[in-house]
Structure 1
Amino acid sequence: MGRHTDKVGDAFPRAPSQEEWERMGQEERDRVVATLPGEVTYEEMAMPEGDDHQEPKALAREALRGYFKRRGRRAYVGSELPVYYPAERRFAPDLLVVLDVENHRRKKWFVSHEGHGLDWVMEIHVGGDRKKDAEYNVSRYARLGIPEYFIFDGGRLALEGYRLATPDARVYTRMESRNGRFTSEVLGLDLQVEGEDVRFWAGNAPLLVSEEFIERLEDQTMTLQRRAQEESRRADEESRRADEEARRANEAERRFKELEAELARLKKSQG
């Protein structure tokens, strides 16, 4: 169970149909979950495309994971994870999000077992034929009922977004951007291309990754340090000024006493 043959004759592992899954007992289900591979073959994967492909994916994943963690919302954010829809040929998106599920490490996403399909997917295209991401996946992900699908074209530094207009729709509606920014209703975030990567926004606040947090904290620390040094300098200056004023006051008092003594002496000599 769990292996089916594709219409073109391949024998890549597949999950059973939903009907087959529902007929299984728990022991048989556990066996299927255990035997479905947690990796894909070279025949199923795109050719490696270096940092231009890896960096945007890693940064986006880190930003999203941090965002959901800070909000205290349960969400799973995965990358290149084998995904098994019932009786469908498996696939491994560059980036995927499933909301309101437990966030623990997984080797695969088995829809029937998890009880939830994918909510959001992004593919990153760098070079070569765009047909898989821009045509085949647009059709396939819509048919599978994935609510939103984004394509980041790292070669052209362009972003495309697709959404199911209704939960029952199985054809995507292409999103329109506003000044280059797209709104993901699923994530509750905006997306736009920034430099060579995709930047996520929560309202007017950009989602930062750890390196950016560190840089921002370092900048804030340096600012506070400079401010403390300036305050210390001012305090020292004020202390020196106070000391000088005290010295002058003491000198004036000493001079006054000398004059007072001299005046008394003169008065005594005249008397």
Structure 2
Amino acid sequence: MKKLFSVAIVLFSVFSVEAQEFQGLAVYESKTSTSDFKANFGGNREITPEMQKNIEERMKKMMEKTFVLNFDKTASIYKEQEKLDAPGQNGTGMRMMSSMMGGGGTTYKNVKEKTYSVDKEFMGKEFLVKDSLPKLEWKMESETKQIGGYTCYKATAVKPASQSDFRNFRPKKDEAKKDEKEKTTNLMDSFEMPKEVTITAWYAPEIPINQGPENYWGLPGLILEVSDGKTVILCSKVVLNAKEKVAIKAPTKGKVISQKEYDETVTKKMEEMREQFKNGGGRPNFRMGN
């Protein structure tokens, strides 16, 4: 009896170590539609055809990104894969815009502690956003589809729109109805931030990990696709129990700030930039003070 008990302890210890060492990675391709932005370029007297082409090329680059999610049983890190930038396209302004369009930094999620942290750079200052994971009220659907060989189930939810994520920008409804002469000369005045967005996610119960891209979590399986209508994040590769392990640790660099405080900081600075444009101040000054 003692011998059987000892064997059970050994087996339990082995399985516990394997569970602790379990790791996986998922590669995601993120694409955000730019059709709303393109539609509002026309008729804007500040945007020349040359400027429009340049803006569209830069926006396309910012709106198409590749991310890697490394995860274990309780935590994950989600980071954009670095790309070689063209000369002159890696300045403060471009990094700021990339951050506001869902790129840059490392997002750490701990689903056991229900917390997250992400390091962000905005207007030359480094922030470390630390907060509780948003709890979405997922509505489980019966619809299924195949993603990368996995049977995925559909789930939907509604969440407040992040005021610092400019992928959520929508054209103002009344702006589209105006004729060319009535349209605003300030591009920033053509858009508004919605109060909430509808999320559609597809998760794979075959991968029983409570994780997903960005801040998405809370489903009984790894989220392989998520969409809010404008942005689609689709998993292109999954590797389970890879030989090479990755240190899944929270970022530590930057001024610690809550998500609400960070959103307020970004909103305030963007309002200042908006006023600069209105008052004929030309390009905004990408600085955050001392």
- The verdict on a shared fold, with TM-score over 0.5 as the criterion, is no
Q: Which has the higher strand share?
A: 2
Using CA pairs under 8 Å that are at least 6 residues apart, name the structure with larger relative contact order, 1 or 2: 2
Structure 2 length-normalised TM: 0.25
**Structure label with greater radius of gyration:** 1
What is the TM-score when the length of structure 1 is the normalising length?
Answer: 0.26
Greater share of helix: 1
